[in-house]
A and B are shown apart, each in its own frame.
Chain A
């Protein structure tokens, strides 16, 4: 219970720093899986650590020890956790559970509504064309999912580029990418330190779909140009007034540098370079090792607390 219990609380900060470089360098499919599993595992490990600290604090309260069968005095003497640490841990754990539950409820509702929407869209085919001058294209998850494209977007693209757009959106639906983003956002709700991982996964699923479209058409440069053209058409026709980037907290970035750029130029730049290959395996292995450390330290801390309870057992 000394250091091991605090390690899962520190690792999310480390993962947050690594998220963006991993998203930029790893193969997008591998990056999506790795970041999603990391986010969920780290959220679980940090919540478990908070629970252990809070439990250790609870066990020192003299009245509680009569309910269970241990000595609060032994707990107070032998547990290195200060009471104020346990209290803060308890408060944080409560907040994390409430935030995660709220996020889960909201996302489940929205996915259900989207599925209903997908079923209600006109026609029976996968593709729905809306008569709208604003250039728009998106996939609606459902059974089956649907792809909505506005006439404004169709006009902005040529025939081959439309196929690329469809291949991209089909990859989202077939790969159930909304589940990855939902899982990481749930983890980030439970532990806000993991927010950069959620942002990174929102980007890697786009890259995943881009690479899928590139494999389908065999021309990465063509895909890059399609993404660029579609983005410029969307911004020119001004279909939307919302700014998801601002909502995610990426405000105040400076223009004209790829480091500070939004997701669209980064996707285009990634498509214009060589595809990320197997060289990135050591990077993935390192990230996996960090995860393993988080899991092991959680187990170690749980063990320590159990030993403490054994020591304090009265009869």
Chain B
């Protein structure tokens, strides 16, 4: 059941995962950058089906996590992604989404964690092929 962010946004009535909503909000802001958006504008970009307070809550949560920066505009704040430097943004994105339940299970990691004894076993199997100096 793979789906992209847009199909997640396409079910505005249904409940969605907190991480998914944060990701959608972040996409909207990233597409709008460098223009900062107010909660009302973000809500409109998401299709307007979410309540204003949900959008504000999500934005301030992302702001608390230092994913977004904000500047006062009129009576509200306008938000924009904190960093465009790819590595930093990706890492923050990961931190945001790491709270999803069993997220580890859907990510295909190249290597699992080594258990006790695994390291000796690897060195025994690969011998000189492994370069311990690196």
Contacts and interface: CB of A to CB of B under 8 A. Distances in A.
B90 A156 contact: no
A291 to B, nearest CB: 25
A1 interface: no
Interface in B116-132: 116-122, 124-126, 129-131
Interface stretch (B40-48, B50-58, B70-78, B103-111): B103-111
Nearest to A106: B101
A235 B114 contact: yes
A interface bracket (residues with beta carbon within 8 Å of B): 35 or more
Contacts of A117: 19, 23, 93-94, 97
Contact of A228 (B100, B102, B130): B130
B130 A225 contact: yes
Nearest to B110: A137
B113 A242 contact: yes
A114 B103 contact: yes
A128 B91 CA distance: 11
B125 A255 contact: no
A264 B4 contact: no
Contact of B126 (A141, A182, A224): A224
Contacts of A315: none
Interface string B1-33: 111111010000000110110011011001000
Interface residues on B, range: 35 or more
B120 A255 contact: yes
B125 A268 contact: yes
A294 interface: no
Nearest to B25: A120
B115 A262 contact: yes
Given A110-B103, A234-B113, A256-B121, A115 B3 contact: yes
B105 A228 contact: no
Given A225-B129, A232-B130, A140 B107 contact: yes
A112 B3 CA distance: 6
A51 interface: no
A122 B90 contact: yes
Nearest to A235: B114
A131 B2 CA distance: 27
Interface of A: 106-123, 128-132, 136-143, 145, 148, 151, 153, 156, 165, 168-169, 172-173, 176-178, 181-182, 185, 205-206, 209, 221, 224-225, 227-232, 234-235, 240, 242-245, 250, 253-258, 260-265, 268-269, 272
The 9 A-B residue pairs with the shortest CB-CB distance in the complex, in nearest-first order:
A255-B117, A131-B87, A116-B23, A172-B108, A137-B110, A119-B5, A231-B111, A122-B86, A262-B115
20 contacts: A110-B101, A114-B106, A115-B2, A116-B23, A120-B5, A168-B110, A173-B108, A181-B105, A181-B106, A205-B108, A227-B111, A230-B111, A231-B112, A234-B113, A245-B115, A253-B117, A257-B121, A261-B121, A263-B112, A265-B125
